[in-house]
Amino acid sequence: MSKNYQQQGASIWSQIVVSCLLVGLGVGGYLFAKSDDGEVQVNLDFLKAPTHVVRLGEMAVSVTEQGSLESYDNVEIVCRVRGQNTVTSVVDSGTYVEKGDVVLTLDTLYIDEEIAERSKYAHWARSGAEHWRASVEKNKLAIPEYLEGRFVAELTGMEKDLVIAEADLLTDQELLEYVQRQYERGYESRDQVEEHRRRVEFTKLRIEVLKSDIEVFKKYTKEYELARLEGELKVSQAQFEANDERAWADASRRDQAVQEKEYCTVLAPKAGLVIHPRAAAWKDAPDITEGGTVYTEQVMLLMPNLDKMQVKVGVHEALVEHVKAGMLVFVKLPDREPFECNVSHVANIARPPTIGVSNIVKYDVTVEIPRMEGLKPGMTAEVEIVMNEYADQVLLPVESVLEFGSGFYCWVRNGDSISRRRVELADSDEKMVRVLDGIKAGETVILNPLAYVPDAQDDALINFEQTATAMVQED
């Protein structure tokens, strides 16, 4: 099977027309300077022009792009340390390592300072938390101690004073009655009676004060003291929780820093090849070098599975609609014979525009590579995607066809005469173009008609003048 190449739009025809037009202009100038005898000579040259007999043949229409090998089953080694970090050592891209080998290290100076600082704050906060924990326990005990101890003792003392006062009142009342009788008999003076009466009144007042104190003590003093004790308990609980949370947070940050310090020494998770992300065409990442900076979750290294390789190529938007999964592909690797594969996936979203060529839109086409020895990520791959294959088709050499404003034309030779023929074209490659209508197999066409056919030269000059005029008018 012949492997051919399809170009975008009519670009191949534009190249042919420009080349042939230059030749035609030279020939036209030559003819203009010649005499009548010279014109006869041109006609003789036309009879000697190279020709091609139209045949039915096979043609494959394909598109060829360059890509690079990559693995579609990669173990990604990512940065697990927060913030930005400096690389202190890294293995070279393409190094084979064993499981557990050190492949990359990050600077730990900042993390060491973080560990020391957070440890100090964690101990301070823990000390405060333990102090307030003791206060919580003390204040918890203070409430029942008051209700069952101090409150009962104080209330009992006040009630005892009330009982004593009531007993004193009975005694004073009896003395008052006794003195009153003695006064009536003339044994006591009136002053003595009044003194005992005042003593009775004073004792009654003392009893009223004690009753009032007991009522206030039960109703208000108790509630006030309970509120104070409960408030102190809540304050101590809040202080304990705050210090405990602070201690936990500082300890957590310290432990995280200790864990991140371990992450600063990166070990190979398996045996195999280690490459830098830049070696993979599908990764747009900075180089990983000693002294360089990496960030959290950034892919630092890749360990590809060399048994699962693929190549991605960018296909122009004008052609990608003709590319389907399962199409035949020929892949050429350096120092290897081309081998057959198939298209495995066609992207639905275009690639991000390339800086400087943002007007070119391409889509990723993925081709899975069968298992082979010696494949490495980054190897250059030439991918030829066969989009169409035709058999028993009328084929014309591309150099026999000219494109003018009104269409495509060729010149058919029949004995010593020629005629211009308009043709309807379809797919093409670098050599042949498929003809849908306008010519049949067995007819003879002239190659490079601009060099031999005066009509072709005249048509080319007219087309050139029209194109130039249109360009001037647009400007």
244-273 pLDDT, tens digit per residue, is 998 898 888 899 899 999 999 999 999 999
Are residues 267 and 101 in contact, defined by beta-carbon separation less than 8 angstroms?
Answer: yes
According to the model, what pLDDT value does residue 472 have? 75
| Tokens 């791959």 belong to residue | 381
**293-295 and 84-90 strand pairing:** antiparallel
Q: Which domains does the chain have, with CATH numbers?
A: 11-71+307-474 (2.40.30.170), 74-107+264-304 (2.40.50.100), 111-262 (1.10.287)
Token pair of 444 as six digits: 């003879």
pLDDT tens digits, one per residue of 329-364: 999 999 899 999 999 999 999 887 766 656 788 999
Residue linked to tokens 């101690």: 145
118: closest CA among 256, 265, 239?
256
pLDDT, one tens digit per residue, over 373-415 is 888 888 899 999 998 888 999 999 999 999 887 789 999 998 8
Residue 370, φ and ψ in degrees, nearest 5: -65, 160
Rounded CA separation 351/85 (Å): 30
Per the CB < 8 A criterion, the answer to whether 434 and 427 are in contact is: yes
pTM for the model:
0.57
Distance CA(161)–CA(214), nearest Å, equals: 10
CA separation, residue 179 to residues 152, 174, 184 (Å): 40, 9, 9
Task: Give tens-digit pLDDT for 206-230.
Answer: 999 999 999 998 889 988 999 999 9
